[in-house]
A and B are shown apart, each in its own frame.
Chain A
Amino acid sequence: MDIDFIEEDKLLVLKITEEIDHHTTDRMRRLADYEIQRYSPRKVVFDFSGTSFMDSAGIGLIIGRYKMASMIGAKVEIKNVKENIRRIFEMTGILKIIPIIGEEDSCEEVI
């Protein structure tokens, strides 16, 4: 996971760089929690541009970080989600509380 903190916006960008499953979320969870506590951001953005696979472990990962961010008053957003991953998010209904922002067209990539 690549970490980027933009001081003036208090924006923490966590770019996921590997496939997301039960095996890989353990490490990502610890790292994300550490960075959220370290920076106390106003907003946490999960950037999915570096991954092409996610199963339900990713839902747990994002909801868990949402709960943590909420405790310090930070928002959580996700971006650059490929179509197969978007379908999983849509199925769970969590996009109502954690929106997908700044759509880059990912449809062409899939085809």
Chain B
Amino acid sequence: MKKLYDNEMNLEFLSKSCNESFARIAVAAFASQLDPTIEELSDIKTSISEVVTNSIIHAYDSDDEIIKIHCKIKDNMIIIEVSDTGKGIEDIEQARKPLYTSKAELERSGMGFTIMENFMDEVKIESIVGIGTKVTLKKVIKEECEDIT
């Protein structure tokens, strides 16, 4: 039977803030098999950092909950699904807006989703209040490395 994806990887870790760097580095290491440019790799790392931080800060009140990342590769595209079983997002449109934050007291800039949308090719947010949130990020890694400058 033909597999749907060329490669897959699962990560599961606790909602501790020290895992933000672990998550972005692990996903970047998995993505590196597509031979991305340093810029593309940096885009992925930053986006993962944003989405994992969202789960840690917004979805959960404690640091012993589970965050899951499922990465898939199909041709030259990487698909990254980050899910939590936390509070969920009431108003997704509002959450996507630049500079909107519900945690101004934590000096959050409200730029998380804006950064993801700029750095990834597709950002899909699915959320049910009281059940959890899944964010799907897609990025096509270009064949040739051109105009890095």
Contact = CB atoms under 8 A, between A and B. Distances in A.
Interface string B99-125: 000000011111110110010000000
Contacts of B149: 107, 111
A1 B110 CA distance: 25
B29 interface: no
A84 B107 contact: no
A63 to B, nearest CB: 7
Interface stretch (B2-10, B15-23, B136-144): B15-23
B21 A92 contact: no
| Most chain A Cβ neighbours within 10 Å, of B56, B109, B149 | B109
Contacts of A111: 38, 148-149
B46 A84 contact: yes
B148 A92 contact: no
B53 interface: yes
Tier of interface size on chain B? 20 to 34
A57 interface: yes
A64 B104 CA distance: 10
A60 B104 CA distance: 9
Contacts, number: 74
B109 A91 contact: no
Interface of A: 19, 21-23, 25, 29, 53-57, 59-61, 63-64, 83-84, 87-88, 91-92, 107, 110-111
Nearest to A55: B49
A64 B107 CA distance: 7
A22 B53 contact: yes
Given A55-B53, A84-B39, A23 B17 contact: yes
B134 interface: no
B72 interface: no
A21 B53 CA distance: 8
